[in-house]
Structure 1
């Protein structure tokens, strides 16, 4: 549905964002015009999403924005809370970085898309249902309309959130990491959808760490680093001949260019399974599947979104029961030494608990010292100030690094990493995998990784298991 309202220009000038007396984003300025989208690249925690939320008027509590943000001459920062809320969905829509935070866990996705058409656009129930089916079919979920979010894969939840945002039809669309966790075909489909939004006259601001997405969208590209916009210009200029040192490092950090990571010979199997079969309803994910992960080994599972990659890892951990088959885990080890890194990091944290408390509870429960956690935070590039924030008040990449840090503190023998770096920029992704590989090499960790990035799997994994194209959770 095309919204009748169209904006011509969004202008951001002298934008600074502070937490109390501490400035975390400073002097950001750019212009977004019809037909010329803007894409922001940069490391997790560099301030990209905060810029988006400042425009949206949805900064987390405790953060404040200064400067000028004008939409066709109207100062958005000067709006009252009621005026801000009135714009949401109607004038400005945001696709949040985390689908877990964007979807209602108590409602099937059909209802979540349909209610946008019914209550935001005032359509009747029949027309709303027709629009809903069209929106979900466009993102490949036409046969999952009655599924709840917990019944969908991470990539499917991302597509459902895209359908909800598209249904709003707002003339200014902000897409925060819209392709994370999606395989190449689905990623290209989302990019094409965003290009159509631009062609229909909508203003588009995209935040991503995927260089290919930035190149495909074209328009203008900005690179953020440590809260500052260090480079901004036409996409082809910034991506092909970046001037700033960080921009060059970011754009040059493609996994295909990583050096090899030699590992010693793998040892005994830490977890293995034979003859695994699993169905969801009428859909068969896999049948007669054999898999094992040995100490000191990296195994990758690749395949389209929804083909059952996460399900395999969950079966190995005992979180999901197979329909058929046997699983054997190394004997004599505490369950805490078998860990999972979730694709959606909010799923691993209590939403209202400060990260300091979350980490402190773990340390006390397992008799670990704060010095161990602090040393790990330094290695993961996590500042101490983040400890006094809730999960929703840090970036998705920062939260994922906390999740990885927390898992490694328990000295695991097996880690199932479900798209564990999908929220990280290439530079941070390389840094995190360097730490994980060090654990594989020095501790004998067995690592099972799910990824949509073929280059990443080929560079790191000794063995790659490819699953088919079944569309199930």
Structure 2
């Protein structure tokens, strides 16, 4: 009898223009498997097929063995009894997993109580312990809407892990996290195989795949193009696509071209200060952004990066300081959200959402097809709802939608956090190209200093505590 905890035999996914070729894997106690590949290659669909949560219109075929029990992949309802107890999914989108009306600690405690079987007091003690270990002690009493994207991701991680399932599927578990938080989550993920469990991870972060080790599978357009030990595949890939994937890591990008002649600013600020929850985020912060300029913002989760952008947009008020915006731009100040599901209605098809935008603001509908082509978006995706496409595809639709408004200033909050390295590079290069062409100033938030160095003209660094805060506006190569 096989000792494998998770087997997928000739798993195939089809429907609505999607074809995932037969995929097979076997994970025994202590095994780790990481799926890498381009956005929309089918990585998340494989996880959904195993869980039995494929979007409407897609169907799976093949055989699954989960913790010793055999299943027909086509029967999606048969595996629901395993959720949380024997098979756990750490979702890509925390907003789909968290109840917006429940405080963070209660959501984690609920899993400890109803899945792990602890009494109420023990469940809350375990929940507080989990949140503290993830650096979220102060977030336990907050609602999901009061958390940053990275903090919400860690809360969802804690809730999904509470049941102690021996098989864990982690879909982009480190998306939107700074390096220390990312490494902490990798260490937590590693506990499952270290405790004789099995771990299947989906990620765009090549460094995460390196740290997890085990076996790596590279997917492209639904096909496996390379697989093998992580050290081998991520050091000396044999496939042409694998080589391109590694070459697209931000640290290997060329340095940005100089901006050229500077014009009157689209936005400027002086002496900005903000305190949140009794903690000072920053003070005496000044900046100027001119047309076509890309200014990067780096710093750990919760340091105020998103808050700064919201202040510049007029969504959040500054405690002190002044902000001057260019006049005559009705729709000129726009935001690309860190979590696009929070910015799209889940009930309507993408074609309807774009049509509504065009009608409401009297935009040029003819601008949509060429922008979709430049962003690598298939027209067949227009017939789906936001929850029926990959996170990376939805992120690019968010970029498409905001560019249709032709902004003069764009606050881009982790706009490529869901994209594979190749697509990330292509998308950011396109964003910079369009910003230069359209004379749009961009403030770009990222947890990756290498990405900021290779894309931005200037950099603002925010630190976790005011005592060590380094608030600067310097050329990235300084």
> TM-score w.r.t. structure 1 length?
0.95
Shift of 1:40: 0.2
Which of 415, 418, 421 in structure 2 is aligned with 1:420? 415
Does the 8 Å CA contact 1:265/1:296 hold for their aligned counterparts?
no
Which of 54, 58, 61 in structure 1 is aligned with 2:56? 61
Does the 8 Å CA contact 2:271/2:286 hold for their aligned counterparts?
yes
Q: Which runs of 5+ in 2 are unaligned?
A: 467-478
1:200: which partner in 2?
A: 195
1:3: which partner in 2?
A: none
Q: Which aligned pairs between 1:70-469 and structure 2 lie closer than 5 A?
A: 70-77=65-72, 83-262=78-257, 263-334=259-330, 336-469=331-464
Q: Give the whole-Å Cα distance in 2 for the aligned partners of 1:391 and 1:33.
A: 35
SS class of match (1:269): coil
Q: Give the whole-Å Cα distance in 2 for the aligned partners of 1:38 and 1:165.
A: 19
Answering whether residue 5 of structure 2 is matched by residue 12 of structure 1, we say no
- How many residues were matched structurally? 464
**Greater RCO between the two (CA within 8 Å, min separation 6)?**
1
Shift of 1:239: 0.8
Q: Give the whole-Å Cα distance in 2 for the aligned partners of 1:9 and 1:118.
A: 25
Does the 8 Å CA contact 1:273/1:291 hold for their aligned counterparts?
yes
Alpha-carbon displacement from aligned partner over 1:300-343 (angstroms, at most 9, x marks no partner)? 11100110000000000011111222211101111x22110000
Shift of 1:89: 0.9
Shift of 1:385: 1.1
Structure 1 residues 39, 26: closer, same or farther in 2, change over 3 A?
same
SS class of match (2:351): helix
Shift of 1:295: 1.0
Q: Give the whole-Å Cα distance in 1 for the aligned partners of 2:459 and 2:28.
A: 44
Q: Give the whole-Å Cα distance in 1 for the aligned partners of 2:73 and 2:51.
A: 12
Q: Give the whole-Å Cα distance in 2 for the aligned partners of 1:72 and 1:167.
A: 18
Q: Which runs of 5+ in 1 are unaligned?
A: 1-5
> TM-score w.r.t. structure 2 length?
0.94
Q: Give the whole-Å Cα distance in 1 for the aligned partners of 2:32 and 2:231.
A: 13
Alpha-carbon displacement from aligned partner over 1:449-473 (angstroms, at most 9, x marks no partner)? 01000001111212111111149xx
RMSD of aligned alpha carbons:
1.6
Q: Give the whole-Å Cα distance in 2 for the aligned partners of 1:468 and 1:282.
A: 16
Range 28-37 or range 410-419, more displaced: 28-37
Shift of 1:266: 2.8
Shift of 1:16: 1.2
Shift of 1:94: 0.5
Does the 8 Å CA contact 1:264/1:296 hold for their aligned counterparts?
no
Q: Give the whole-Å Cα distance in 1 for the aligned partners of 2:262 and 2:82.
A: 56
